[in-house]
Structure 1
Amino acid sequence: MHRIVRVLYLVSLICAALVLGLTLNHVLQAPGSRALSGPEWLTVQHTFYGGFAVVGGIAEVVGLIATVALTITSLKGHTIAGTAAPVIAALCFLGTLLVYWFGNRPINALVAIWSPATLPSDWSWYRNSWETAHAISACLGTVAFLALAIALLWRRTPSEGSARCSAQDDPNMA
């Protein structure tokens, strides 16, 4: 069971890092995006962001599944405090999915069918909403990543729980 928990932590942490990295990338690009004209912005949207939703979506879904599984396995033999990090991370992954479905996805669907000739006059409102949704997801990704990383750093291993430590308990001692 200990190895399963470690694998779940690793998968959850990798997914949180991917979500954080992808969404933070959007946040860091926002000042440059705001300097573009409507047609330039639309060209960027049509050209550069195809893989973000695929990788990010997979990371959010797998991260949610892994952290829910981690929460369930952590409940066995641990205190409520010991399950706080996976619960926080799971809620953050759920939040990023909700922000995508209700924030980014509807805007992505509109932008995909726009052309420079059909770009609405209020296009900057959509750009700002799209960027705000990514900023919210970046905050949620940060919290998920930090919760999992801190929990991993402070997590006690079975060998730390006893006075004796053997090579069987600690693979680094072998």
Structure 2
Amino acid sequence: MILYLTALASLLLTALSLGPSFAHVLEAPPRLTVWSPELWREATVFNGQFELFARIGGPLDVAAILMAGLLTCLLARERPAFWFALTGTCLLALGLMAWFTVVAPANAVLASWTPGPIPADFASIRLRWETGHMVVAAAKLLAFASISMAVLAPRLPARHT
């Protein structure tokens, strides 16, 4: 029963973590091609639109990694499920690393912006922020697929030599 509950929790946490990241991907096309720089900056930086993404999304990301790691441990003797679970765990960790290395530096720049003229580095920061979220979403989507495969994979006991 613990395996099934862990698998369920892993899938739910991964799906909840993927949700906000996928929302960023869905928002990106108009934000990159239609929105004026002023609208993008106003919506992204000054009005707290993404505050809950950080407050709830960050802990969800960590919880998803931990639960997928636990699932991986519980599937250690079951092939091929173990490899799918391990891959999913690694992809979730990779997504979080991508957030810290691509999105967080852009967020630090955004935090320094003030109302007034559009900063000279606007286009590069916006592109980094938007594409960074796309990379994170891709890693999480692949992680969800891999963890799903771990849950659905036939249980083949490891061979003992």
TM over 0.5: yes
Distance in 2 (alpha carbons) for counterparts of 1:83 and 1:117: 53
For these two proteins, the number of residue pairs brought into alignment is: 152
What is the aligned partner in structure 1 of residue 17 from structure 2?
Answer: 19
Classify the secondary structure of the residue corresponding to 1:115: coil
Structure 2 unaligned spans of 5+: 156-161
Distance in 1 (alpha carbons) for counterparts of 2:130 and 2:60: 19
Counting aligned pairs with the same residue, the percent is 28
Scaled by the length of structure 2, what TM-score is found?
A: 0.86
Where do 4+ consecutive residues of structure 1 move more than 6 Å? Answer: none
Pair member with larger Rg? 1
Classify the secondary structure of the residue corresponding to 2:75: helix
Distance in 1 (alpha carbons) for counterparts of 2:9 and 2:108: 30
Checking the alignment, whether the CA contact within 8 Å between 1:33 and 1:41 is kept in structure 2 is yes
Checking the alignment, whether the CA contact within 8 Å between 2:81 and 2:149 is kept in structure 1 is no
Checking the alignment, whether the CA contact within 8 Å between 1:39 and 1:116 is kept in structure 2 is no
Superimposed CA distance per residue, residues 8-33 of structure 1 (whole angstroms, 9 cap, x where no aligned partner)? 21121112212222111111111221
Scaled by the length of structure 1, what TM-score is found?
A: 0.80
Classify the secondary structure of the residue corresponding to 2:116: coil
Distance in 2 (alpha carbons) for counterparts of 1:43 and 1:7: 43
Change over 3 Å in CA distance of 1:155–1:40 after alignment to 2: same
Classify the secondary structure of the residue corresponding to 1:36: coil
Q: Which amino acid aligns with 1:113?
A: S
Which deviates further from its counterpart, 27-36 or 147-156?
147-156
What is the aligned partner in structure 1 of residue 65 from structure 2?
Answer: 64
Checking the alignment, whether the CA contact within 8 Å between 2:85 and 2:146 is kept in structure 1 is yes
Structure 1 unaligned spans of 5+: 157-174
What is the aligned partner in structure 2 of residue 172 from structure 1?
Answer: none
Distance in 2 (alpha carbons) for counterparts of 1:139 and 1:54: 21
**Cα offset, 1:155, TM superposition:** 4.5
**Cα offset, 1:118, TM superposition:** 5.7
Classify the secondary structure of the residue corresponding to 1:65: helix
Checking the alignment, whether the CA contact within 8 Å between 2:81 and 2:151 is kept in structure 1 is no
